[in-house]
Amino acid sequence: MVFLLVIDEPEEKRKFVLIYEKYRYLLYKVVFDVLQDSYLAEDALQEAFWKIAKNMEKLGEIEALATKRYIITVAKGAAIDIYRKRKRQMREEIYVDELSSVAEPCSYMETDVDNAVLDILKNLPVKYRDVFLLKYSSNMENEEIARLLGITEEAVRKRISRGKVMVQEALDKMEEM
């Protein structure tokens, strides 16, 4: 396994192998549910395991509910990233047959605001970013998010509210520049 190259401690390598063996099929199902494409799901699964390998110190016991929640969130985040990237690529593609019907040259300008918002979301603290991704990308209800993350609905609402404030503050700073 190439993933083991980024892990230094022998105990963490053993732990990673056990996590990989125990959760790979569950994580595949999670990413496939988001992407609905087996090849993209494999890519997302690989990305998720890279992130997990790089952050082994954050994981507790293999059987712990917190560990399961963490790796599911990482996998879902990787799948959503790939989904967004693919969606953006599909929007930006210009087909040759479409160009022939246009009399004037056409161009596509990607807005800096779109990129800035994505950067802001990527830089949010994990607990706020995960709730945002589940709420707005996966279109999950607060109750579902609360169950998945093992927190109360009130905590979900608070994290969304605080996350919105952080995003707004970052956008305000960006406008000042």
Considering the domain architecture, whether residues 95 and 121 belong to the same structural domain is answered as: no
Query: At a CB cut-off of 8 Å and minimum separation 6, what does 82 contact?
Result: 35, 40, 43, 44, 47
Q: What is the pLDDT of residues 7-57, one digit of tens each?
A: 778 888 899 899 999 999 999 999 999 899 899 999 999 999 999 998 888
Considering the domain architecture, whether residues 120 and 79 belong to the same structural domain is answered as: no
Considering the domain architecture, whether residues 22 and 78 belong to the same structural domain is answered as: yes
Considering the domain architecture, whether residues 19 and 102 belong to the same structural domain is answered as: yes
Query: At a CB cut-off of 8 Å and minimum separation 6, what does 64 contact?
Result: none
The range of the structural domain enclosing residue 128 comes to 111-177
Considering the domain architecture, whether residues 41 and 103 belong to the same structural domain is answered as: yes
Q: 48: how many CB neighbours lie within 10 A of its CB?
A: 26
| Rounded (10°) CA dihedral 128, 131, 136, 137 | 110
pLDDT higher than 80, residue 114: no
Considering the domain architecture, whether residues 103 and 59 belong to the same structural domain is answered as: yes
- Count of positions (residues) in the chain: 177
Considering the domain architecture, whether residues 121 and 49 belong to the same structural domain is answered as: no
Considering the domain architecture, whether residues 26 and 80 belong to the same structural domain is answered as: yes
* pTM across the whole model: 0.52
